[in-house]
Amino acid sequence: SRSGNVWDNAAMESFFSSMKREELYRGKYRSERELRAAIDKYIQFYNTDRPHETLRYKTPQQKEDEFTRAATPFENP
């Protein structure tokens, strides 16, 4: 990030805050493998199932799909 610009890392800080609050602090993990599996599952949930207020209550995957459709040239059938 640029020196003196606190907003450069805001998106990741928000993600880690959500992951800690919604997953890590609620679970008990018996091994590093369980922890890693829970993190992988949460990331999948965060991107495909969890609506985000800043995305007008759509998931990141839905916004990505919208962008891809808008950026793809119209094809004639």
From first to last of its 77 residues, what are the pLDDT tens digits of the chain? 566 676 778 888 889 999 999 999 999 999 999 999 999 999 999 999 999 998 999 999 999 999 998 888 766 55
Model's pTM, two decimal places? 0.74
How many whole angstroms separate alpha carbon 39 and alpha carbon 19? 8
Q: How far apart are the two ends of the chain, measured CA to CA in Å? A: 46
| Bridge partner list, 58 | 52
How many whole angstroms separate alpha carbon 41 and alpha carbon 46? 9
